Amino acid sequence: MKFKNITEVTSTQLANIVSNDSLRPTMTGVFIDSEFSVIAGTNSHLLMTYPIEIISDEKISKIVPIEFFNIKKYAGKITPKDIQFLEYSLEEDYAKVYYREKLIFLCSYIAEDSEYPNYRAVIPDGGKTEIGEIGVSLKFLKNISDSLPGKFSKKSGILSFYGKNRAMKLVFNSDDLQIVGVLMPYIGV
């Protein structure tokens, strides 16, 4: 399956949302979901999805390390104008990045035999209720801001609240692209 990273999200932004818990290896990477054309990442407190453009008919979904999106590491002299020529590919054994049809990066998948958590099940989709108190950790708000690619970072977003101590849905729009996130409630002492 081949795709383009149309939001231009990088490993730097993805590092703010993935887990670093080695006991949960599936959550240390990002899930490329070809069925819904998104990249999904979570650390169990914050979930973000980024749209991708599928450019082949194959449907393969895999978990890749965030280094797969480390443009500075493998692309070296690629300028922001040249990012449009990057093409990402999920193949049977490896994830690959091509620049103008030349292979420039190759990596293995994470937890090949494991399934990524059902991220779609936690994205609220309606049923707004009256809100009492909602606790939000400033650390998580900073992580949200740091997880947005350049074209989204200066935009405002929409927070949708669905009840006391329930997940908050975040939506960021830029042109015809949309990044969706979920912030789990912070229940502090």
pTM of the predicted protein model:
0.79
Per-residue pLDDT, averaged over 49-72, amounts to: 91
pLDDT tens, residue by residue, 70-99? 877 766 677 778 888 899 999 989 999 999
> What local confidence, expressed as pLDDT, does residue 84 receive?
84
Q: Can you give the pLDDT at residue 95?
A: 95
Q: Residue 142 corresponds to which tokens in the numbers above?
A: 């900073």
**CB-count burial class (<10 Å; 0-12, 13-18, 19+) for 35:** exposed
